[in-house]
Structure 1
C-alpha cells in the first residue's frame, strides 16, 4: 500500500509503557486494538495466531485487533521495550470536506530496524512518548498523538524505502539545513563534501536519492524562494540578486525566468507588498 494513503493518520492511544520484563513475564490474550512494541534490549518469543517469531534489540513487533497474542522473554536476555496500544483512522479531504478513511498499516509481525540513525531516533521518540504518558496531563494528548504519528511515519518510510538509508537521509537533512542557513554565501560542492566528510560523488548521489534533486538545483530553489519573498517586500532586483547568493543580476534574471516563467522585475511589479 502506498505511504501517501496513510499520510493523514490520526491515532488514538490507549496505553503506553516502557516495559522492563522480569523472567516470569508473559502475555496470552486476544487483541482488542493495534499494538506496537519496539525492543531496545534483550529478546523475546512472540506468537501470533500460533505463528512463532523471535524478536531482539532493534526489532518492532506489530499486532492487529483480534490477533491471538502470546509472548515471553528469556531469563538470560530479558526484554526491554516500549509498547503502545492504539486505534487509528485516516482523514482525507474530498474537495469540500474531511472524510474518515481506514487504511491498513502494512507492517509485518516482526520487522528489524537495522539503520542506526533511525534506531536512535525511534528510541528518543518512544522515550518522549513514555514520559508524556506517565505525566498523565490532559494537554499532553495532542503531543502524544503527534509523536506517535511521527513514529508511524518513520516506520512506514523505512518499510517502503529501498534506495537509501536513514543515515543517508540524516546527511541530506544536514546539507539542506546548511543550504537554508548559508544560501546567500558562495557555496561549492567541494566545500560541502569537505564539511560532511564525504566524497563529492557519494554526497551528490545520496542527496539526489533522498530529495530527487541535485544539490545545486536544490540550492537554486532555496535562493529563488527567498528571492521572491524579498521582491514582494520591495527590494530591487539587483539587491535581491546579491542578497540571495546569485551575485550577478543577469544570471539571477536568467535563472528566475527559467524556473518561474516570469522575469524578476515583472514578478516584483505584480506582487510587491502582497
Structure 2
C-alpha cells in the first residue's frame, strides 16, 4: 500500500481529492490530511509517507516552502504540487526543488490516472533502495578467500545506457540485453565463476558487480570490460569502490556508488570512476550564461533560430548527462512559456526522458529534439476528431500486428507523422503510450496461449519476442506470475 499525505486548505476540495485518488487506484491510501502548511510540516517530520500532494497556496507554509523543506532535510518521499493555475513560474520553482510533478485543480480523471501510474513506478524504484537484505544472505563462500580472508569483495554500480528509468524502445531493450550478455561473458573469461556476482540494481538499466580478488586484477578487469566493448552495445558507466568492502557494509557503499554514477555519467560514452577521498567541487552548468541564452526565446521566434538556441544550450551543458537533462528541461520550460502550444510541459518532459534513455549520439539527440520542437510548436494542430481517428487507426494496427517488430520508425513510415506526435495523440485518447498498449496486448495474448498449454518458448515467438528468457522476465514483471505458473493455472481449471 502506498501511504499518501494530501495538504489542501479548502476542505471540500481536499475530500474530493482524497476520494479521486483512492477511486483511481486502490493501491494509494490517503492516510494523512492537512489543512495548512504547519500541519503538513508536522506530518513530514513525524510520519513515514510515500507520496505528498501539496497545495501551492496553503496558509502558513505554502507548497513551495514544503518542497524546499523536503529538499533541504532529505525527507524520503515523492512530492506533487497541486495548483489551480498552469503558471510556469511555479513549474520552474517546483523543478528547482525536485517536485515529481504538478496536478491542476479541478482534477482531470485521465491526468490523475496517468500520474498515479508514474508515481507507482517511482515508489517501487524507491522501495528497492531499502537495504538489500539478500546481499547479507549471499553465501559467504562466494567471497571468502581460501587463506581465511574476511568476507570482503569489490563492489561496482554499472549502468547500461541511461539512468532515468524511462521507457525503452525495442531497439534499446535489445541493446541492453546484448550489453548484459557481453558483460557476463567477459567477466566469466577473466574471473572464476564463484568469485563474482552480477545482480540487478534499482533500475532496469543498472547492474551491481561483486568481485573477490586483488586490486590490480580487479582494476584490469574493469578497464578491459570497457575497452573491449564494441560500438553496437550501450554505453557502460561504472563507479567502483576503491578497495574491498565487507559484506556488512555493502548496502551503504553501494548507495553512494549508485548516486555517484548518475552524477558522473557521460552522455553517449563508456567510463569508469572511483570515488575520490575528497570530492572536488564540479563546475556544473553556468546558469547565468544559460539564462542569457534562454532570453533568446521570445514570442514569434522562428524554428531555425530556436534550433540554434538549443545548440547553444547543448554546448553549455557539456558532456555530463545530468547537465544535459537540466539544460533540455530549462529550454522547453522557457519555450512553453513564450510560444503557444496545445501540449503541457509535463508531456514534453516525458519526451525528454525518452530521448535521453534511447539516444546516445549527439546528432540523434539534436535530431529528435528538433522533431519535438517542430511537432509541438510549429505544426498546425489537427482537429480533435482527426486526432481521435488517428489514435484509433494506430490502436487497430497494434492489435493486428502485435507479433511483429514495432518501433518509432515503423510508426512514422506507416502513418506519416512523427513518433512524438503519434505518442501524444495515442496517450490523449487511451491514457497510455503505444508501447504500453502493445505490451498489454502481447501479455494478454500470451496468457491465453499459455492457458491452452502452449510452451513458453513458442508463446514468446507468437507474441513478438525473439528471446524466450527475456519474454519470461517481461511476463513475470507484467502479470506477477511466471509463464509456467500461468500455464499450470490454466490446466488446473480444465
TM exceeding 0.5: no
Structure with a larger share of its residues in strand: 1
Q: Which has the higher contact order (CA 8 A, sep 6+)?
A: 1
TM-score (norm 2): 0.22
TM-score (norm 1): 0.39
Structure with a larger share of its residues in helix: 2
